[in-house]
Amino acid sequence: MNILPVIDAQQVRYSYSDGTSALNGIDFHLYPGETVALLGRNGSGKTTFVLHLNGLLQGEGTIQVCGMAVCRQNLAAIRAKVGMVFQDSDEQLFMPTVLEDVAFGPRNLGLGVDHAVQRAREALSQTGVADLAGRAPYHLSAGEKRRVALAGVLAMSPEVLVLDEPTTFLDPPAERELIRLLKSLPQAKIVVTHDMPFARALATRAVFFEKGRVVANGPIEEIASRFHWEI
């Protein structure tokens, strides 16, 4: 069986403008339906790496998403394929109402108003927050904001979900709900997290980052134990 990866990154390197080297040759693959946890200390390059996956940062090396190279010409298509859910939902929810925010992505894809609204309503239902459609984002709880942010990404029908520290600001019930929701989604997922119970609940494989390099890649239990990645 020869399944092609939805994400195939080879020798990705990136340095910030001040010369700090953030990524030093990352090789990474993600297969359809798979969920991978990216682990590692703060500043190890996890977030910098995932920002490359839909062209928000562009360094050296090659990245292919669903067979397309991440380059300027393909950015619109790539951004429809890779949905990013950021750590701080407040940065992701900037439109006056929840419905408009969730419809923002589909409208940018060129869908008409009716179609975009339909997609937005479906995504809100999928994440269990259809009743929040008319609300303003600043009136929502942290858990609701996270679900709306996820809906905003799902409305674009991505093939890959990238979640950066998705449990930040969530209480345990909201975290449980998020796990249940993410498990129900068919997309391949990359989860950047320090929250090991969360990572264990979702991912089977983990990739461990250290100083801008992937130093281990394997079953999550093995990685956690090898790097003493427990509290």
Partner 1 sequence: MSLKYAVIDRWSQGQSVFHRLDARMKMTALLVYLLSIATLKPVRAPEMIAFGVLILIGMTLSALPIGGFLLRGAVVLPFTGTFAAISAFGGQTDFAVGLVAKSYLSALGVLLLAATTPMPALLHAAQWLKVPRVLLLVIQFLYRYLFILVEQAGRMRQAALCRGSALSKRSRGERMSSAAGMLSVLFARSYERAEGIQRAMLSRGFHGQIPLLTNPAARLKDWAFALCAVAATLAIRLGGRL
Q: Using CB under 8 A, list all residues that contact partner 1.
A: 51, 54, 56, 76, 79-80, 82-84, 86, 88, 90-92, 94-97, 99-100, 103-105, 107-109, 113, 116-117, 136-139, 152-153, 156
Helix, strand or coil, per DSSP, at residue 7? strand
Residues 6+ apart with CB under 8 A from 126: 151, 154, 185
Distance CA(6)–CA(177), nearest Å, equals 27
Return the number of the residue (162 or 199) whose C-beta is nearest partner 1. 162
Rounded least distance, CB 4 to partner 1, Å: 23
Rounded least distance, CB 159 to partner 1, Å: 14
| φ and ψ of 36, to 5 deg | -120, 135
Rounded least distance, CB 77 to partner 1, Å: 10
Return the number of the residue (75 or 185) whose C-beta is nearest partner 1. 75
Return the number of the residue (11 or 168) whose C-beta is nearest partner 1. 168
Distance CA(101)–CA(231), nearest Å, equals 37
Return the number of the residue (89 or 193) whose C-beta is nearest partner 1. 89
CB atoms within 10 A of CB 132: 22
Rounded least distance, CB 189 to partner 1, Å: 15
Return the number of the residue (26 or 85) whose C-beta is nearest partner 1. 85
Q: Of 77, 57, 39, nearest to 198 (Cα)?
A: 39
Distance CA(75)–CA(65), nearest Å, equals 10
Rounded least distance, CB 231 to partner 1, Å: 26
